[in-house]
Amino acid sequence: MPTIEGNAAYIPIKDFPTKIQRCLDLLQNKAPGYTIYLNLYVTKVRAARASGANFADKAIDIAKATFDSSDTWVASVLVHEAVHFWQYKSGKYKASKADEQEANVQQLATLRLIGAPENEITHMQKQDGGHADLDGDGKYTEKDYKKRKY
Ligand SMILES: [Zn+2]
């Protein structure tokens, strides 16, 4: 399991480890098969300005807006980002819509396994893989990353 690293600049330091640990435990208990990439590739989950997979630091970054969602949603985001690590490690990650769709499929399966509320499952089913591509140019780039607030 990854370690948990708070950052008071983004999320109150007392809240972050408690909730992230709860989410990791939820995955471990109800969807252990979906923790494989987390355990293999991710060294830490840390509070940050924007959510995403930071390959250089082997970290999953969690922003305040994501953190403030339900436990089931945050847990599913951890799996989503871990899938990007697997894509990256296997040399096929292109920050493309297809990469997002693949991560979304695993995220949806995770939501179902961990007993997420219906509205989260419905929301996930509506994603077409373009969520990270805020400027709509078909690529998830640094430019999009800087526009993200979630
Ligand atoms: Zn993604």
* Domain enclosing residue 123, as ranges: 3-138
Instruction: Provide the domain count of the chain.
Output: 1
Ligand 1 mean position, distance from CA 117 (Å): 21
How far, rounded to the nearest angstrom, does the alpha carbon of residue 102 sit from its chain's CA centroid? 13
pLDDT tens sequence across 26-57: 999 999 999 999 999 999 999 999 999 999 99
Q: What is the SS3 assignment for 49?
A: coil
Ligand 1 mean position, distance from CA 95 (Å): 8
pLDDT tens sequence across 81-107: 999 999 999 999 998 999 999 999 999
Q: For position 20, which CATH number holds?
A: 3.30.2010
Structure tokens at 39: 């355990």
H or E stretch at 95? none
Residue 34 lies in a domain: yes
